[in-house]
Structure 1
Amino acid sequence: MTAPHPLHLAVALDAVGWHPAAGTGPDAPGGDVSGLAHWTALVQEAERGLLDFVTVEDPPNRPAGAVDHRLDALLVAAAVASRTEHIGLVPTAVVNQAQPTHVAKAIATLDHLSAGRAGWRTQLTPARPIVIADIFTPEVQRPMAELFERAADLVRVVRALWDGVYDEKVLRDLAPGRFAPADPDPGGSFTEIEPLGGSAADWLTIANPSLAPRAPQGHPLVFTLAHITLPYRYGARSADVVSVTPHSTDEARATVEEIRTEQAAAGRADEKVHVFADLVVFLDSTPGKAAERKARLDETHGSEYTSDAHIAVGTPAEVADLLLEWQGAGLSGYRLRPGALPHDLTAITRELVPELQARGAFRTAYEAGTLRGLLGLPVPPDTAA
C-alpha cells in the first residue's frame, strides 16, 4: 500500500513509556529517567527518525491523594532544545492553570531557543475526575463546554500576545469577562487594596508586561488531543494540529468529517488544520514478539492494558498498513505513543520509518527549518504590526 502523500509523524514521550509496567523488566530504560541524558537520548532518537515533533507529557488528572512524579514539560523541552537541530518540541501546559502572559512568554522563549521549533500542547483537566458513563449527561457537558470556551479564549489571547498586543482593552475585548478587575488604586498600599472580586481562575492584566520578542514562527504550533465533539470544536477553532483517538477506519473518517465541519463553522475553512490520530504502539520485527512483550507487561501490571487510543501491536509492516489505511480516511499524520521506552521508540525510528519510506509515505530528510514549515503551515501575519 502506497501513501497518496507523505505522512507526518510525532511521538508522545513519557519517562518510560505508556504501558503502566513499562519501567520494569529487561527492556526498561537504564540510568536516571529524570536526568537530562535520558530525555536528550529520547528526543535525539526521535530526530534520528526524521519525526516532525515530540510532545512532552504533563501529569494528567489524578484521584485525590494520588501523586504523579513527573518533570516540568516546558523545562524538559527547553533543556533539549540546544541538543537537537530539526525536530519540533511541544511541551504540555495545562490550560486551566495558565495565565496568558506567562504561557505566551514561555512558549515564545522556547521558540527562540529552538530557532523556530516550539509548540504548545494545550491540555485541559476537569476539576473532578469524570466517570466515562456520565460524560454525555447535561451535568457534565455544561461545565465541559465552559472549560473549552475558556480554553479557546486563552489561546486567542496568547496568540495576540505572540503578536505583541499588550493593550489592556484589546486583550479584554478578545476574552470578555475572563479578566479580573483592574486595581482601582494602583499607587496605593498593598494592605489597603480590596480583593479584586473575580474568581480564583480569572486572568490578570499587567500594565507593563514582559513579553518575548515575536517568535521565529510568528505563532508557535498549537496542538490538542480530542476525543468527542466539544474538544473537536475547540481544536477546530483554536489549534493547528488536532489529534484524535479513532479505533477503526470508519471512526477516523467520521471524526475527520466532524472536525472539518466545525472548522468551517469557525470561519477557518481555508486554513490548514492537521488531523492526526493517537496510537499506542508495540513494535517488533519478528511476528508475534510484540504481542508476547505486551502480554508480559500486562502480567507484571496485573491486568490487561487498555487505552483511550487504539493499541497497535505487530510488525513494522503491519503497523504501516494500518497507518496508510487510516490515512485514506483523511488523517494527515499520527502521534505515536511508544508502549515501552526505549524499545518501541527505536522500533519506530529504525524499523517503522524505513518501512514507510520504502512505500513513499515518509520523508527521507528534513525539508524545513521550523516546525510550522515541516507541517506546511504558513507563518501568521503580525496583527500588531
Structure 2
Amino acid sequence: MSSTSGRTLLHLAAAVDQPSAYDAGSYVELARLAESGGLDFVTLDDTFARPGPEALAVLSRVAPATHRVGLVPTVMTTHTEPSHVRAAVATLDWVSRGRAGWRIGVSTTEGEARLFGRRQAAPADELWREAADMAASLWDSRIGPRPPQGHPVHVVDATEGPARPVAARYADMALVRGANPAQVAAVRDRLRNEAAASGRHPDALRVLVSLIVDLGDGEYAAEPGHGGGGPRQTAQGALYRGGPVDLAELIATWHAEGVADGFHLVPAEPRRDLERLVNGTVALLQHRGLFRTFYPGSTLREHLGLARPAHQYAVTGGER
C-alpha cells in the first residue's frame, strides 16, 4: 500500500449495482462520482440469472467516459469458456487503458446450470478449483499479447471457505463481508498465511471489508452512529446504518487496528449513499490524511500499489 509521511493509506472501493437500471448513463454517473472521490475502483456484480445488462458490457461502456477509477465486473468461470473470459476481460483492460479488474465468480445453482444444459450444478469446492485453474493459466498464454496490466486485477469474495484458497493463491484483492472486526481480522490473517504458504509475499494480497452502507436521506434522520457497536449482520451481508461522519470514524478505527487494508462499500441506495460517501466520509478521511487526494498513476495496479506480474513464459527480448 502507498503511504504519506510513513503513514499507511486506506484502499477504498464502491459498488455501483442498480438492480432496476438498464441505462448505461446511470452507471457512468456513479463511476464518475466515485472517480471524483479518488476511489480505487468500482464493482458491478453479475449472475447468469440476474435480469438486466451484463456487468462487463456495462463497464466497457463506462470505460471511455472515465479516466482513472478502476472497473471491476463479476465474470463467471462456471459454464464459461476460458478463452471467452480472457478475451472479454482483456478487452476491458484495453479500452480502459489498464483499469480493469476481474471479480471471479462461480455459479452454484441448479437453475443457472439448466440455462446451459451441459452439466448439473457442482459443489462449491469443485467450482472454486475450476476457477483457480482458470485464474492461474489465463493471461500468459502464447495466443496473443497480454493486456496492458499484464494481468487484470483479480478480486475474490473470500467470505466463504471454498473461495479462500483461490483468494490466497491468486487474488490481488480479497473481499470479506463481516460485521465483527475480530472475525474479519482473523480471516485476513489466515489469507495472508495461506498466501505465504503458497509462495506469495502476503503484502501482495489486499484485504477489504465489504460493508453495505445506508446513510439515510433528507426525509428522515439517519440512525445514531454505532460507536463501538459496529455494523450488524443481515442476510445480505454486514450493514452499517448511520451518518457519513460516524462511518469515517468506523473506517479509521478498524484500519488503525489492522482489521483490513481498506473497505469495499455497497450503497443501500446507490445515488444518495455514494454521493454522501464521496462528499462526506471520503472527504473526512482525506482531511485526516488516511486516504489520497489524487490518483498516483493511471492503471488500477498503480492505484493499489501492485506490481505488474512477470510473464510465466517470458523469453529474452521482452514479453508479449
The TM-score with structure 1 as length reference comes to: 0.71
In 2, Cα distance between equivalents of 1:321 and 1:259:
26
Pick closer, same or farther for the CA change 1:56–1:81 going to 2, 3 Å. same
Determine the structure 2 residue equivalent to 1:224.
Answer: 156
Q: What SS is found at the alignment partner of 1:117?
A: coil
Change (3 A) 1:234 1:367: same
Q: How does 1:1-385 map to 2 (within 5 A)?
A: 4-15=7-18, 33-59=21-47, 68-128=50-110, 143-158=123-138, 162-166=139-143, 211=144, 213-269=145-201, 272-284=204-216, 289-291=221-223, 306-327=234-255, 328-385=257-314
The separation in 2 between residues aligned to 1:282 and 1:121, in whole angstroms, is 24
Deviations 1:54-91 (A, max 9, x none): 1111037xxxxxx6312101100110110000000111
Say which SS state the counterpart of residue 291 (structure 1) adopts.
coil
CA distance in 2 between partners of 1:313 and 1:117 (Å)? 31
Q: Secondary structure of the residue that 2:8 maps to in structure 1?
A: coil
Letter in 1 for 2:142: V
* Structure 1 position 144, deviation (Å): 2.2
C-alpha deviation, 1:269, in angstroms: 3.1
State how far apart, in whole Å, the 1-side matches of 2:203 and 2:212 are. 29
1 CA distance for matches of 2:297 and 2:191? 27
The answer to whether the Cα contact below 8 Å between 1:285 and 1:315 also exists between their aligned partners in 2 is no
Query: CA 1:329/1:242 → structure 2, altered by over 3 Å: closer, same or farther?
Result: same
Structure of greater Rg: 1
In the TM superposition, residue 271 of structure 1 has moved relative to its aligned partner by 5.3
CA distance in 2, matches of 1:270, 1:143: 28
User: Matched residue of 1:105: which SS?
Assistant: helix
One-letter code aligned to 2:47: P
Question: What is the CA–CA distance in structure 2 between the aligned matches of 1:123 and 1:264, rounded to whole Å?
Answer: 23
Give me the identity figure in percent. Answer: 36
- Give the C-alpha shift of residue 128 in structure 1: 3.9
The CA deviation string for residues 152-204 of structure 1, in whole angstroms up to 9 with x for no partner, is 0011121xxx22434xxxxxxxxxxxxxxxxxxxxxxxxxxxxxxxxxxxxxx
- RCO higher in 1 or 2 (8 Å CA, sep ≥ 6)? 1
Amino acid at match of 2:213: V
Q: Does the CA-based 8 Å contact 2:129-2:166 persist in structure 1?
A: yes
Report the AA paired with residue 38 of structure 2.
L
Q: Counterpart amino acid of 1:384?
A: Y
Q: Assess if the C-alpha contact under 8 Å between 1:242 and 1:275 holds in 2.
A: yes
Give the residue type in structure 1 aligned to 2:297: A
* Counterpart-to-counterpart distance in 2, 1:318 and 1:8: 18
SS at match of 2:56: helix
Q: Aligned letter for 2:270?
A: L
Whole-angstrom distance in 2 between the partners of 1:315 and 1:271: 32
1:43 partner amino acid = A
Q: Which runs of 5+ in 2 are unaligned?
A: 1-5, 112-121, 225-231, 315-320
Could you list the runs of 5+ residues in structure 1 that have no partner in the other structure?
17-22, 24-32, 61-66, 130-141, 167-210, 293-303
What is the aligned partner in structure 2 of residue 134 from structure 1?
Answer: none
Offset of 1:228 from its aligned partner?
2.9
- Structure-2 separation of matches of 1:285 and 1:34: 24
Q: Distance in 2 between matches of 1:270 and 1:340?
A: 35
Alpha-carbon RMSD: 2.4
**Cα distance change on mapping 1:270 and 1:236 into 2, 3 Å:** closer
Q: Which amino acid aligns with 2:105?
A: Q
Equivalents in 2 of 1:75, 1:311: separation in Å?
29
TM-score normalized by the length of structure 2 = 0.84
Please tell me the residue identity of whatever aligns with 1:376. G
Q: Which has the higher strand share?
A: 2
- Structure 2 CA distance for partners of 1:99 and 1:38, relative to 1, 3 Å: same
